[in-house]
Structure 1
Amino acid sequence: MKELLYKSFSSIMALLVLFSTVSFTVEKHFCGDVLVDVAVFVEAEKCKMEALEILQKKTCCKDEIDVVEGQDELKFSSFEDLDFEQQQFITAFAYAYLNDFEGLPKQIIPHKDYSPPNLVTDIQVLDQVFII
């Protein structure tokens, strides 16, 4: 279970970094006030009125391009960039976390291979001691 959580959180963080740094464009083509086509990464398909507008030199069609820019620079900070209290907290946390998962020493059980003797008679009946 712990390994599954670790792998899923690692994958989510990798995808988060990937999608925060990716840039893409969304191109929309309008004919009048009607949206004709929306395209991502490629050019939007033009309507058939576009060819007539070139001949008549009137424009009722328009293109909108939305650019979604990702993060260009990722900030890499080192341990020395932290102030003393943060360094102390991280060091104490890492020390406690790593020592928390150390294995217990192997315990010796002296009577592990001992088998009890066979009972010949029932001692409670022999001594007539009964639990009431």
Structure 2
Amino acid sequence: MKEYFHKISSMIMALLVLLSTVSFAVSKHYCGDFLVDVAIMTQAETCGMQIQQNIYNEECSFQKTSCCTDQIKLVEGHDEVKTAANELDFQQQVFIASFVYAYVNLFEGLEDNIIPHKDYPPPLLIKDIHILDEVFLI
């Protein structure tokens, strides 16, 4: 059982390291205020309403803007993974020292088995009270 728990915990830790170091991009395509498509690591599909290439006309000085927008969010993972925790600051050292001291002293007084009623004899039973009162534990 201990071996299976060890294997499962090591796989979870390896998966956690892998997921924390992976980078990916999330691409979203909006047509007006409505979300049309979301894609991870690829370009989102368009709705087909983009304006064609604007042909510059000397007579006409205004340009029509597109109602569609594309948003790309880049989620970056960690570049370096800290492999060892050898350097502890003063507050962490104080916490570890106090925790170890409190844990060791937690079980110090359990060797003495104190029975507070060992000098008193039990009462003498003349009749069984449970049978007389017809009270039974189920």
**What secondary structure does 1:49 align onto?**
coil
- State the shift of 1:58 in Å: 2.1
Name the structure 1 match of 2:24: 24
- State the shift of 1:74 in Å: 1.3
In the alignment, the residues of structure 2 paired with residue 49 and residue 82 of structure 1 have an alpha-carbon distance, to the nearest angstrom, of 58
Of residues 67, 73, 98 in structure 2, which corresponds to 1:60?
Answer: 67
**What secondary structure does 1:42 align onto?**
coil
Instruction: Check conservation: 1:28, 1:44, Cα contact below 8 A.
Output: yes
Partner amino acid, structure 2, of 1:19? L
Name the structure 1 match of 2:13: 13
In the alignment, the residues of structure 2 paired with residue 64 and residue 37 of structure 1 have an alpha-carbon distance, to the nearest angstrom, of 11
Instruction: Check conservation: 1:53, 1:59, Cα contact below 8 A.
Output: no
**What secondary structure does 1:13 align onto?**
helix
- Identity rate of aligned residues, in percent? 55
1:71 equivalent in alignment to 2:48: no
State how many pairs are aligned: 86
Query: What TM-score comes out, normalization by structure 2 length?
Result: 0.53
In the alignment, the residues of structure 2 paired with residue 29 and residue 78 of structure 1 have an alpha-carbon distance, to the nearest angstrom, of 43
In the alignment, the residues of structure 1 paired with residue 26 and residue 74 of structure 2 have an alpha-carbon distance, to the nearest angstrom, of 6
- State the shift of 1:59 in Å: 1.0
Q: Where in structure 1 do 4 or more consecutive aligned residues deviate above 3 Å? A: 52-57
- State the shift of 1:62 in Å: 0.2
1:44-92 deviations in Å (ceiling 9; x for gaps): 0011101x4545742110001111110111123365x468x79xx8xxx
In the alignment, the residues of structure 2 paired with residue 35 and residue 82 of structure 1 have an alpha-carbon distance, to the nearest angstrom, of 48
Partner amino acid, structure 2, of 1:37? D
RMSD: 2.7
Name the structure 2 match of 1:47: 47
**What secondary structure does 2:29 align onto?**
strand
Structure 2: runs of 5 or more not aligned: 55-62, 98-138
Query: What TM-score comes out, normalization by structure 1 length?
Result: 0.56
Name the structure 1 match of 2:101: none
**What secondary structure does 1:39 align onto?**
strand
Q: Normalized per residue, which structure has more helix? A: 1
